[in-house]
Amino acid sequence: MNSRPMLSCVVLIVVLAKIVPAYAQTEAPSFYFEQKLSAILSQRGLTSSEVARRAIESSFELHGKHEQVLRAQLDVKQALLGFFPRINLIGKYTRKSEIIPSITGHIVVANKAADGPLPAGAMLVQVPIDSFPFGVPLNEFFGVTTLSVPLSDYLLKLTEAYRAAQHSARAAQLTEVSARLKVARDARILFYNWVDAKLKLVVAEQALDNIKGRALDVARLFEAGRASQADVASLNARVAGAELLIQKTRDLIVATEQELSTAMHYSGRTNWVVGEDVRQMPAVPSDLDNIDQLCEEAIRQRLELRIMSANRDSLRAQAGSIRGGALPRIDAAGSAVYANPNPRYFPPEPMFHGSWEVSVQLSWSPNDIAGAILSSRSLDARAREVEAQEAAFRDVLRNVVTRAWLGFREALVAVQTSSRELESAEESYSARRGLFQVGRSTSVELMDAETGLTRARIDLINSRIASRVALVELLYAVGRDVL
């Protein structure tokens, strides 16, 4: 028999035995594993709420949504300005060139006659026309103030336009709040994914410690001739597999930390610690047992439905405003003129005079009717489209709430079953190890028990994390989530 493979196996076992920690040489009990979990989870550090808060404060998406709200509020103010009468102020100075009067000749006047009918024998005198002050002043100063009041627009157009702007602003505000809730939900889930990875690393390291602790047993049994070379080779494979699992878990921690840094836009060193004990069950509201009530609550609470409703009302108000613009238009206008010379005075003279006028104007362009009707019908169609989307979203929402509710119930049951599974796996592993040490169990059976223990620990961590994620998803689906 070739002794070289056996010699290499013995050397491997001796090396493993030397690197096993002191606690592994007596096989770490289950409470040691809980102590390692407590060391990670019993610190003051990041919590899901803190991560959500930081993500909201630094989200570029939310900054954009906030700017949309500001823009919508400015649109409301602009629509409100349409109700104010329009005032125009004009001031003008004109210098005119001299002209030669086009009217020449003479005019007959009664010299030194009193006003009224001429007496018999009154003397008439012929006077040149250019001796009368009929000239045009060369300097002209003109100031006018006009006031226009759109009477018909108040009833037919401006009111609907203002309502449309208000509904759009309301939709923008709700959209911002909805985006904040979504960012918070996603940040909480990222946090739990990160915690899940850190806890799984504890499990993987504990599994590797158990394998290294068993190396001493295999070494003793191999020296006594009670273990085979296959047992040693199987141990070698198990060590390699455990080391690979640890490396993958560490990579997962790095990936989840990067996702957290991106969500919070944190550029410093990611030396965070977990500040939320996920071993404890989260605070669960007592009224989450009736799925029908939860669906109705979601329809009342979810902001997406309110956003659709506001957008629908805005489109209908816009359509009404456009239809009002196609009807005859009535405007009241007034103007005041202060000019030198005032064109209302004849003959023109280089003096300032004031005058005013008031008018009511009816205007209508039949060419605008077809365009207004088509535009308003297009907006009405879009409003009906949004209304249909709103109805469809209600159906989708019922399914979403149902799936979230079922997922949460399954997560709660999984926590209970995983806890019992871990207790059984710990007892099985402890008993199997005792039998293996006295030669009454094979290494294959011990490895199966160890695999079951590792899987049970991972399942319990998964179920605890999943219960919190499921609660986040359910509260978000129902519309009870808070920032």
Which residue would you say has higher pLDDT here, 403 or 35? 403
Per-residue pLDDT at 58: 94
Closest CA to 57 of 228, 266, 217, 211: 266
State which H helix or E strand residue 419 sits in. helix 367-437
Residue 2 has pLDDT above 50, yes or no: no
Residue 481 has pLDDT above 50, yes or no: yes
Per-residue pLDDT at 304: 94
Per-residue pLDDT at 284: 84
Could you give the 3-state DSSP secondary structure of residue 441? Answer: coil
Residue 6 has pLDDT above 50, yes or no: no
Distance CA 178, CA 301 (A): 11
Per-residue pLDDT at 234: 74
Closest CA to 196 of 412, 388, 480, 460: 460
Per-residue pLDDT at 212: 74
pLDDT band with cut points at 50, 70 and 90 for residue 1? very low
Distance CA 481, CA 108 (A): 99
Q: What are phi and psi of 95, to 5 degrees?
A: -110, 125
Which residue would you say has higher pLDDT here, 20 or 411? 411
Q: What average pLDDT does the chain have? A: 84
Could you give the 3-state DSSP secondary structure of residue 142? Answer: strand
Q: Are 134 and 267 in contact (CB under 8 A)?
A: no
pLDDT band with cut points at 50, 70 and 90 for residue 24? very low
- Determine the straight-line distance between the first and last CA of the chain, rounded to whole angstroms: 71
Distance CA 164, CA 318 (A): 6
**What percentage of residues in the chain have a pLDDT greater than 90?**
48
Per-residue pLDDT at 124: 75
Per-residue pLDDT at 120: 74
**3-state DSSP of 352-402:** CEEEEEEEEEEECCCHHHHHHHHHHHHHHHHHHHHHHHHHHHHHHHHHHHH
Q: Are 105 and 131 in contact (CB under 8 A)?
A: no
Token pair, residue 211, equals 């394998």
pLDDT band with cut points at 50, 70 and 90 for residue 384? very high
Closest CA to 73 of 162, 169, 187: 169
Per-residue pLDDT at 368: 82
What residues does 93 pair with on adjacent strands?
Answer: 141
pLDDT in tens, 28-47: 446 567 777 777 776 788 89
Q: Are 257 and 270 in contact (CB under 8 A)?
A: yes
Q: Are 473 and 408 in contact (CB under 8 A)?
A: yes
CA 264 from chain centre, in angstroms, equals: 15
User: How distant, in Å, are the alpha carbons of 52, 102, 353, 355 from that of 342?
Assistant: 71, 22, 6, 8
Per-residue pLDDT at 16: 42
What residues does 115 pair with on adjacent strands?
Answer: none
Annotate 165-202 with DSSP letters as a single string: HHHHHHHHHHHHHHHHHHHHHHHHHHHHHHHHHHHHHH
Closest CA to 404 of 305, 300, 294, 303: 294
Specify burial of residue 114 (Cβ count, 10 A radius: 0-12, 13-18, 19+): exposed
Q: Are 112 and 192 in contact (CB under 8 A)?
A: no
Residue 400 has pLDDT above 90, yes or no: yes
Distance CA 348, CA 138 (A): 11
